[in-house]
Amino acid sequence: MDIGRCFNEAMEVYKKNLAQLVVGAFLFELLSLLSLTILIGPLAGGWALMTINALRRPDKQVDLADMFRAFNRFGSLLCLFYLTIVPILIGSLLCLVPGIYLMTIWVFCFFLIVDREEGVFSSLSTSHEIVNRSGLGNYLLLIVISLGISIAPSAIPYVGFILGWFLAPIAWLIQTSAYLQEVDGKKPPEKVETTFL
């Protein structure tokens, strides 16, 4: 996993789709609050799907409707959110390191559910395997950077939450690039038919 490539690909999509991504971040926050966190899981799956599709498209365009196309996995995404958020919060409250460790090994679980149609527990296991295979240190750094981008605006009074709508999409895109490097960049070679003359 190349962190520099993650930033380059994230910024390429971000610059082309700034308005859509900021609207998406606003809708994510608004709908999550209005639903009392019930929609966080499905919306997180939608963000994963939206950013995956944008990075895979040749024109790198974001389709905001993709954010709601993960609702067909509503139950799995809802379950995944609550299953992961509780131990992450406990780990973060007791000592920051366990919380960050869990965020790191589970970084790809939402992506795997919407992209590979994996189950809840399978997505957790596969995400852990991918991170261990590619090196925990790289992904710890990726999570710390993503958290810094996402959380830093909240320290700014009054306008911090608005600034967060502009910065959160960058963190999502960075993680999506890392995911695609792992799953698209390391597929087994296709079988080639040979003919004998």
Structural domains of the chain, count: 1
The C-alpha atoms of residue 192 and residue 128 are separated, in whole angstroms, by 32
At 120-140, the pLDDT tens digits run 999 999 999 999 988 888 899
The C-alpha atoms of residue 53 and residue 61 are separated, in whole angstroms, by 8
pLDDT of 176? 95
**187 within a domain of the structure (yes/no):** no
**Contact between 180 and 52 (Cβ < 8 Å):** yes
**191 within a domain of the structure (yes/no):** no
**194 within a domain of the structure (yes/no):** no
**176 within a domain of the structure (yes/no):** yes
At 15-38, the pLDDT tens digits run 999 999 999 999 999 999 999 889
**193 within a domain of the structure (yes/no):** no
**62 within a domain of the structure (yes/no):** yes
Res. 158: pLDDT tops 70: yes
- Give the residue from 63, 65, 32, 66 showing the smallest Cα distance to 49: 66
**9 within a domain of the structure (yes/no):** yes
Q: Which domain holds residue 147?
A: 3-182
**192 within a domain of the structure (yes/no):** no
